[in-house]
């Protein structure tokens, strides 16, 4: 286990060093990230019209969902996108061979090799919005509601990761699957708004078929103290299922890996 922690530390410090290697590019990335942040704050300010309701959510509570969305989006930009979109290149260029011959879990390597520090401010902003909006909507934090919030955030993240990894793993056969990952980002974007703001059929689909509700709505409910504990258990089972599916599928995919020609 220690070996894995040390490996992550070295992965991320080298990722940081690689990003700093091109100073201008790093500055531009930071600027672009600032632009995105300003954009989302602007959208939030548009939401701030007094006395309106979205689904059965007050604006302050809906803002919590925006915060969770921003947080997950930041995590996506920092961790999921840099790593999981890279799997395709590993397969195409045949450098996956090197990863597979390392005495370390290949799914681990492919999932955490890189870390984009430009995603960090979004993560911090997202969390700040969550707590600020939760206070505004009059919720009182307790260790209980905070731990529910952290667990449900984890559930959301693991589900997003697993689905994304599943799609990326299929590049073993199809080689190019970039389009599919764009669909996933759209899915996450659908989680910007409370699930109850959608029509009933979409609500059903977003909860049971595509677990969008688990990404943003349920964590927000947790911090607001409104999450039903049964949903949390259901979420835990669902994310466990997705995670094991991703691992199983990866092992299965590797059996079909033929390596790129020399």
Closest CA to 58 of 42, 71, 47, 70: 47
Token reading at 198: 């959608």
Pick between residue 228 and residue 251 the one whose CB is nearest to other proteins.
Answer: 251
Pick between residue 55 and residue 94 the one whose CB is nearest to other proteins.
Answer: 94
Token reading at 147: 């731990």
Token reading at 58: 């007050």
Q: How far is CA 160 from the centre of its chain?
A: 5
For residue 250, the minimal CB distance to other proteins (Å) is 13
Pick between residue 17 and residue 209 the one whose CB is nearest to other proteins.
Answer: 17
For residue 99, the minimal CB distance to other proteins (Å) is 9
Pick between residue 98 and residue 244 the one whose CB is nearest to other proteins.
Answer: 98
For residue 1, the minimal CB distance to other proteins (Å) is 11
Pick between residue 17 and residue 46 the one whose CB is nearest to other proteins.
Answer: 17
For residue 252, the minimal CB distance to other proteins (Å) is 12
For residue 18, the minimal CB distance to other proteins (Å) is 5
Contacts 24+ apart (CB under 8 A), 173-178: 173/253, 173/256, 175/88, 175/91, 175/92, 176/88, 176/92, 177/88, 178/85, 178/88
Contacts 24+ apart (CB under 8 A), 79-83: 79/111, 79/112, 79/114, 79/115, 79/116, 79/119, 80/160, 80/161, 80/164, 81/116, 81/181, 82/15, 82/114, 82/115, 82/116, 83/110, 83/111, 83/112, 83/113, 83/114
Give the binding site for other proteins (CB under 8 A).
3, 6-7, 9-11, 14, 17-18, 21-22, 93-95, 97-98, 100-104, 109, 255, 257-259, 261-262
Pick between residue 103 and residue 199 the one whose CB is nearest to other proteins.
Answer: 103
For residue 7, the minimal CB distance to other proteins (Å) is 5
Pick between residue 9 and residue 52 the one whose CB is nearest to other proteins.
Answer: 9
Token reading at 32: 């672009």
Q: How far is CA 113 from the centre of its chain?
A: 16
180 vs 162: CA distance, rounded Å: 14
For residue 182, the minimal CB distance to other proteins (Å) is 20
């Amino acid at each position: 286990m220690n070996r894995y922690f040390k490996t992550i530390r070295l992965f991320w410090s080298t990722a940081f060093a690689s990003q700093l290697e091109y100073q201008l590019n790093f500055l531009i990335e930071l600027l672009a990230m600032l632009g995105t942040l300003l954009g989302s704050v602007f959208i939030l300010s548009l939401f701030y019209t007094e006395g309106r309701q979205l689904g059965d959510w007050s604006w302050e509570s809906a803002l919590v969902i925006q915060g969770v969305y921003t947080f997950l989006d930041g995590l996506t930009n920092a961790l999921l996108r840099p790593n999981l979109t890279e799997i395709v290149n590993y397969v195409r260029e045949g450098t996956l061979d090197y990863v597979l011959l390392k005495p370390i879990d290949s799914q681990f390597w492919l999932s955490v090799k890189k870390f984009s520090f430009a995603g960090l401010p979004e993560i911090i902003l997202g969390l700040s919005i969550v707590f600020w909006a939760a206070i505004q909507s009059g919720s009182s934090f307790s260790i209980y509601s905070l731990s529910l919030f952290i667990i449900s955030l984890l559930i959301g993240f693991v589900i997003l990761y697993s689905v994304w990894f599943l799609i990326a793993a299929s590049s073993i056969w199809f080689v190019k699957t970039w389009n599919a990952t764009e669909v996933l980002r759209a899915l996450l974007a659908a989680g910007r708004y409370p699930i109850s703001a959608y029509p009933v059929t979409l609500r059903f689909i977003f909860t049971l078929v595509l677990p969008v509700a688990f990404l943003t709505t349920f964590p927000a409910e947790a911090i607001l103290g409104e999450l039903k504990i049964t949903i949390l258990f259901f979420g835990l089972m669902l994310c466990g299922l997705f995670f094991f599916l991703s691992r199983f599928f990866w092992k299965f995919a590797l059996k079909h890996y033929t390596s790129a020609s020399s």
